[in-house]
Amino acid sequence: MNSPAAPSQKPMSFFLTTAAINRVCRRKAADRRLRLYGLIAIGLAVAMLATLFVSLIMTGYPSFVQTHVTLDVYLNPADIKADNPETGNYRAVIKESLVTLFPEVKNPRQQRALQGLISNGAQYMLRDKVAANPSLIGQMVSLKVPATDMVDQFHKGVISRELPEDQRKISDQQIVWYDALAAAGRITTPFNWALFFNSDSRFPELAGLKGAIAGSFYALAVCFLISFPVGIAAAIYLEEFAARNKMTDFIEVNINNLAAIPSVVFGLLGLALFLQFMGLPRSAPLVGGIVLSLMTLPTIIIATRVALKAVPPSIREAALGLGASRQQVVFHHVLPLSLPGVMTGAIIGLARALGETAPLLLIGMNAFITSDPGGLMDPATALPTQIFIWADSPERGFAARTSAAILVLIGFLLLMNITAIFLRQKFERKW
Amino acid sequence: MTTLLCLLALSMASFFLFNARARAMAANTSARLHSLPSYHGAYVALRVALPSVAFLLIWSLCQQPIIDRLVMSGLPAEATTGMGRGALDLILSEIKTVADGRIFGEPSPTILAAAEQYKEWRQLGQYALFAGGLGIAIVALYLAHRKIAVEFRARQQVERIVNGLMIFCSLVAILTTLGIVFSLLFEAYRFFELVPWHEFFFGLNWEPQIPLRADQVAGLGAFGAIPVFTGTLLIAIVAILVAGPIGLFSAIYLVEYAAPKTRAVIKPTLEILSGIPTVVYGFFAVLVVAPAITAFGQHLGIEMAPNSALAAGLVMGIMIVPFISSLSDDAIRAVPQAMRDGAYALGATKAETIVSVLLPAALPGIVGGFLLAISRAIGETMIVVMAAGLIANLTANPFEAVTTVTVQIVTLLIGDTEFDSPKTLAAFALGLVLFAVTLCLNIIALRIVRKYREMYE
């Protein structure tokens, strides 16, 4: 559509006029702009993800080590009776060992402050040690005990030395003692096994995840035992046997909607139906597991159906041709062939259930419980609810513990997802 | 528990027994068995296990409420007359603690007697459970055993039972939905008996924890849910304003601009965002985002609450980015290549193709994705429980603290087992509203997405 140019002029391409070139430039710039917006959007999302992980690791990793103080404890037979080592006055023994280190501290108030360096759990650790081996009584033992949260935070640099005394918990005098202990090589920071092998506690330096991990394990076991067989059976029926009618359509709509119902509503169901109506115990992993299994069910059903669909019809026809019944076709051939896909779906569903918090809060799995659950009916917490409890605790040390617990939870999730990906890559067949 | 194990062991044993029996039958007679021996075993095992385990489950689910009722009706009339539900529940729980051997203070003789009674009933229930389960199993075993014969169609029978089991399993989804609907409706109905519905839906005052004036409903607080709804909406809007552009633009980039290799890296990275547990986001909001936003606001001289709607909405937005991005991604990719080619042939640049051809064509799918994301944002709990406020505040200012439906549900129910106060029942009314709204959004969204998909297939 070249413009009819005047006869005197040489015809010039319409596309080479400055206006046209400008137009093209503008259009190309718009294109680049849109591309840039896309990059910025992705950059923002990835930056947020990175911030999330970096901040969690930064606050959480100090919690994987715990400041310990090495004490030389004389197990005075006057305080601990050999015939009944369980009920000895271990508090006095610990205090004595501290006072021996700092003989200049005479005044009882000062001595109390000195004791404030050592975790309250030290006496129980010592008691367990002596109860297990009563022959120690009357001897001098070297004992590594956890320092209190404030010393721990100070040692890790969370509480700064430069802060004025009235703005930090640890007093100047205590810092002097701490320095003396550090100079004597009595302050060590070994790996924090207590984080994994202690149950919850009011004291951050003693609090651990054992109870929460056990509770999560029980709940997930119940969840798996219910949702796995029920989900697979439902998926097989809907995919292989059900006639296409209103009923099956209704079931499918139901399953899809169930997958999108907010998790807190499942908690309300658990509270009203299982706790209130059926009288099952509060905070029990059994109830948590049942509620989680109802939430996981749609995921497993949908994944199983996809896996069943992927098995080519020729397999079914061959088996039918050899005289197998329809159920034999499914259970002997189709289901075993689709099992990797089914397992992958189940693991991903369980991983989601492991991170689920809100329904567990409503059925009371956020109680303060200092012993690990012995069974399905015992009150317990789960990993995500433990994170919630710790996140709500005012003590400084719990912030770090929360991050550490989150890292543990994410570690478990990562493990499950890697297993799922591995299963898929290793066993999935392309037909 | 032991009863269950007994029954399962019995069922296993009968499988092996009748498997062997069928084998022997086949060896002894000249005729061929109709079904494989294992089907004979499986038939008997299923017939033994199913009715007895079903009995076991139903019994153990119903035992507690029945015993509770029996114990309460066994109390002398003068001990319970004129008492509300709450007081009765209190008596019941006291009876239970006494029966468990945890006695605090001096329980009255009626309570002690009732506790004895309770223990007796419970013991009786256990015996009945064991005897009933075992009895049913043995009768079933006898009936099934009479059927075993050379000509018996064991395979067909087993397949019929398995088919029935599978149908039952697929009905679980419906049962769950029904359970949710009925438990919410029932408790919400009790709530609306205490608090008039118009006060709940149109009231502007939400103070369930504090009694305001004596003549108020049960003297327990104000239940006008409007500020709670607006708070939910405010946070959801902030979340969508964050997640919408990020999700949409990243989807456009991933589908139309990114090289396949880049896409293969970035897409799973974005998906990680949706795999992180929400409690982690909640902690992240408290630990990093809220302080950062407050500091930024102070820098600009804006007065900000530490648990502002902005912080909660922002973090929630990050959480739903992968939602919007993957649904928009699907929608854009579903647009037929021919439409792209047509646009390119007319000389359109990539951006022009996207803006004037692909996006309009993919719009229904994208809108569906946004609706799903809104429903997700409304129902999201942990982020707001940890990062949003507790006090209902009727405002549209994202710098202030607001509360949401899910926050109220959780705070009203945590640590409270008393079921007759309007405070706890209000949580169920809120739950009902939440359920209804998210269900509607989901149904509409799924319908839009499906209709649109059919258009191009």
**How much is the mean pLDDT over chain B?**
84
The predicted-structure confidence for A165-223, as pLDDT tens digits, reads as follows 777 778 888 888 888 888 888 888 888 888 888 888 888 888 888 888 999 999 999 99
Give the closest-approach CA distance of B78 to chain A in angstroms.
26
**How much is the mean pLDDT over chain A?**
85
The predicted-structure confidence for A76-125, as pLDDT tens digits, reads as follows 777 777 777 777 778 888 888 888 888 887 788 888 888 888 888 888 88
Inter-chain CB proximity A268 and B276 less than 8 Å: no
**Which chain A residue has the Cα nearest residue B158?**
A327
Inter-chain CB proximity B279 and A384 less than 8 Å: yes
Residue A89 near residue A80, CB atoms below 8 Å: yes
Query: Is A210-427 in CATH node 3.20.20.140?
Result: no
Work out the angle at residue A133's Cα, subtended by the Cα atoms of residues A130 and A135, and round it to the nearest 5 degrees.
95
Dihedral sign (CA A409, A412, A418, A421): negative
Q: Give the pairing type, strands A187-188 and A68-74.
A: antiparallel
> Measured between beta carbons, which residues in chain B are less than 8 angstroms from residue A40?
249
Three-state secondary-structure class, residue A330: helix
Q: Domains in chain B, ordered, with CATH?
A: 2-152 (no CATH), 222-456 (1.10.3720.10)
pLDDT score of B242 more than 80: yes
Q: Which of B173, B287, B434 sits opposite A254 (nearest CB)?
A: B173
ipTM value of the model? 0.88
> For chain A, which residues make up each domain, given as ranges?
67-190, 210-427
Q: Which of A44, A56, A264 sits opposite B409 (nearest CB)?
A: A264
How many helices, marked H, and strands, marked E, lie in chain B? 18, 2
The rounded distance, in Å, linking the Cα atoms of B411 and A267 is 13
pLDDT at B102: 67
Give the closest-approach CA distance of A400 to chain B in angstroms.
11
Inter-chain CB proximity A42 and B352 less than 8 Å: no
pLDDT at A380: 86
Q: Minimal CA–CA distance to B144: which of B158, B130, B134, B132?
A: B158
Inter-chain CB proximity B257 and A38 less than 8 Å: yes
Inter-chain CB proximity A55 and B419 less than 8 Å: no
pLDDT score of B341 more than 80: yes
Backbone angles phi, psi at B124, to 5 degrees: -60, -45
Q: Minimal CA–CA distance to A355: which of A333, A328, A332, A387?
A: A387
How many C-beta atoms lie closer than 10 Å to residue A48's C-beta? Answer: 22
Residues forming beta bridges with residue A143, ordered by sequence position? A71
H-assigned helices in A282-332: 285-310, 313-321, 326-328
Work out the angle at residue B226's Cα, subtended by the Cα atoms of residues B225 and B227, and round it to the nearest 5 degrees.
95
pLDDT at A304: 92
pLDDT score of B39 more than 60: yes
CB hemisphere CA count around A274 (13 angstroms):
27
Give the closest-approach CA distance of A56 to chain B in angstroms.
8
pTM of the predicted structure, to 2 decimals: 0.86
Inter-chain CB proximity B283 and A403 less than 8 Å: yes
Three-state secondary-structure class, residue A70: strand
Of the residues B34, B176, B265, B424, the best mutation for testing chain A's interface (the one with the most A CB atoms within 10 Å of its CB) is B176
Three-state secondary-structure class, residue A282: coil
Backbone angles phi, psi at A107, to 5 degrees: -70, 130
The rounded distance, in Å, linking the Cα atoms of A209 and A385 is 11
The predicted-structure confidence for A5-41, as pLDDT tens digits, reads as follows 445 556 667 778 888 889 889 999 999 999 999 999 9
Q: A289 falls in which pLDDT band (50, 70, 90)?
A: very high
- From A181-195, B216-230, B271-285, the region with the lowest mean pLDDT: B216-230
pLDDT score of B420 more than 80: no
Q: Which of B183, B249, B252 sits opposite A273 (nearest CB)?
A: B183
Q: B216 falls in which pLDDT band (50, 70, 90)?
A: very low
pLDDT at B213: 47
pLDDT at B85: 60
Residues forming beta bridges with residue A71, ordered by sequence position? A143
Give the closest-approach CA distance of A329 to chain B in angstroms.
12
Q: B40 falls in which pLDDT band (50, 70, 90)?
A: confident
pLDDT at B212: 45
Q: Stretch A248-252: mean pLDDT, rounded?
A: 86
pLDDT score of A283 more than 80: yes
**Which chain A residue has the Cα nearest residue B180?**
A269
